[in-house]
Amino acid sequence: MATSEITDDLPPEFAGRVSAATLKDGRALIVFDAAGLGEAERAAIERDITARLSARSDVNDVRVVMTAERKAPTLIAIGSGKGGVGKSTLTANLAIALARQGIRTGLVDADVYGPSQQVIFDAEDAKPDARDNRMIPVETKFGVRMLSMGQLVAPGRAIAWRGPMVGNALAQMIDAHWDAEDVILIDLPPGTGDVQLTMVQKYKPAGAILVSTPQDLALIDAARAGQFFDAAAVPVIGLVENMAGYACPHCGEVSDPFGKGGVEAAAQRLELPFLGRIPLDLAIRQGSDAGEPPAAGDSAQAEPFLSIAGKLAAWISARS
């Protein structure tokens, strides 16, 4: 919908400060230049815009982005030494859990060769718009804006890029219009390759979380990833143990196909915080595949993600 059709509902004095206005699938986004305005005035304007646009029959959600006098969002990298340890699932649910705690959270799917966040967030058909040669992150129904290579290429298409092209893709996603976010989680590809090198050189994150299964081989690779961040002077916020214990849905007996407690022991050995463990739960996998991450609900599966998000939020608050 054209900008003028939305801004017609706003006071005339706002016209010079609205730099962008879009309405798509019932979601209205207003970008407002708040330079020179105090916190109380900014809050009043945001409430006014939200009330006016919410009164429209074709609007069911309103996001007002104040672009001036805002700190740059805090970048948090989520990494692993190897693939298949559930890093993307953790990142998605952690982002949603942070948003539920009132932290404006964005997500960059930097796993260029194997993007999956567009599936987890049920945003496969969403394509980012652009303004001033910068992408506008895609809105999701979970209150988390995101960008993923999976939204930029045809579904199922293989990406065969060399290092410079991968670095350029990462730059476009991180340099996007993240005007509304306090925190951006970066879902890294496994290992310590081109994406990781570009990130620490150009967009040094405030900290990193490492994800591993309790399996010995996964822990060895996670330790290498930790060494990479240590060498880049990026503090490791802590370790998360994923796929820790499987409860049989029939008898309730808990088994440990990938071992137990290995990540917590590794955290103690490396003198790093242990942030928590996520069980090997079929409901988590099914929810993520169906675009309904469990952290968005109130089930037992949401609890470990909310707990880890609380620890991350405390870490971010302590450094600000």
- Is 24 marked as a binding-site residue? no
- Is 81 marked as a binding-site residue? yes
Q: Six-digit token pair at 47?
A: 């409430």
- Is 127 marked as a binding-site residue? no
- Is 166 marked as a binding-site residue? no
- Phi and psi, residue 210, nearest 5°: -105, 140
- Is 114 marked as a binding-site residue? no
- Using CB atoms within 10 Å of the CB of residue 19, give its burial: 0 to 12 exposed, 13 to 18 middle, 19+ buried: middle
Percent helix, percent strand, percent coil in the chain, to nearest 5 = 40, 20, 40
- Is 143 marked as a binding-site residue? no
Degrees (nearest 5) of the Cα angle 28, 297, 63? 15
Residue 223 has a CB neighbour count (10 Å cut-off) of 17
Distances (CA, A) of 37 to 21, 71, 289, 292: 20, 15, 44, 39
- Is 202 marked as a binding-site residue? no
Task: Please give the Cα distance from 289 to 303 (Å, whole number).
Answer: 19
- Is 86 marked as a binding-site residue? yes
Binding-site residues sit at 81-88
Residues that constitute the known binding site for ATP: 81-88
